[in-house]
Amino acid sequence: MTDCVLTWLADNGAGYARIMINGKRILHHRYVYHRHNNISLEDMEGKLVLHTCDNSRCINPAHLYLGTHEDNMRDMVARNRVRTGKQLTQEIANDIRARRYKATGKELAAEYGVEVDTIYDVWTGKTWKENAPVANYNAKLTDDQVKYIRSNRTLYARELAAMFNVSIGCIYSVQQGKTYKHVI
C-alpha cells in the first residue's frame, strides 16, 4: 500500500478535516474522493467514503473507497476498531506513558484492549492527568525535529505534539511552513 497523504486542514474534533465548498462544509477526504473519481457529491449522498488505511486524516485517493454504513461497521469489526468499553487504571495509564516511545499506539491499544485514541489521550494527558506531561509552549525545536515533523506522513499532529512536548498548533505551524522558515 502507498503511504498516507495527510490533510493540512484542522481536525474537526472527531479526527476528520472539513473543507468549505460553495459555502458548504464537507469532509476533506470525501471531497478528494469526489474530485479524483469524477463523481458528483449528489451521487455520493447516503454513502460514506471509507479509508483502507484507518487514518481519518488521510486524503490519498488510493486509500479511499465508497461504501455504506454497514460496510463501515463490518470493516470496524474486521480491523478490531470496535469500542470495547474496557477501563484503564492509573497504574496502566502510567505504564502506557512510560512505554510511549518504545511501542506504537496501535500496539499498546491491542495489548490493553482499548482504542488507539485512548492511548493517545493518556499520552497527551487528556485523560489520566496524574503524572501527565505538560506541553511546553515555549519549547524550541531543533532543525532535525522540524525536518522530522515536516517529513512525517504517518503520525497525527497530536502524536507529534506529545512526542516533542509542544502544542498541536506548533506542529501545524511547522508543517505549514509558518514557523522555522529557515529549515529546509
Q: Give 5-26 pLDDT, tens digit per residue.
A: 998 887 776 778 888 888 888 9
Q: Residue 99 has what pLDDT?
A: 85
| Residue 147 pLDDT > 70 | yes
- Evaluate whether residue 7 is within a structural domain: no
Confidence of residue 71 (pLDDT cuts 50, 70, 90): confident
Confidence of residue 33 (pLDDT cuts 50, 70, 90): very high
- Evaluate whether residue 73 is within a structural domain: yes
115 grid coordinates: 482504542
- Evaluate whether residue 71 is within a structural domain: yes
- For residue 57, give its domain range: 18-78
Tally of domains in the chain: 1
Q: Looking at the whole model, is its pTM more than 0.85? A: no
Q: What is the pLDDT of residues 39-63, one digit of tens each?
A: 998 999 999 999 998 888 899 999 9
- Evaluate whether residue 22 is within a structural domain: yes
Long-range contacts of 173-181, Cβ-Cβ distance < 8 Å, separation of 24 or more: 174/141, 174/146, 174/149, 174/150, 175/8, 175/149, 175/150, 176/8, 177/150, 180/141, 180/143, 180/146
- Run of H or E residues at 21: strand 18-21
- Evaluate whether residue 27 is within a structural domain: yes
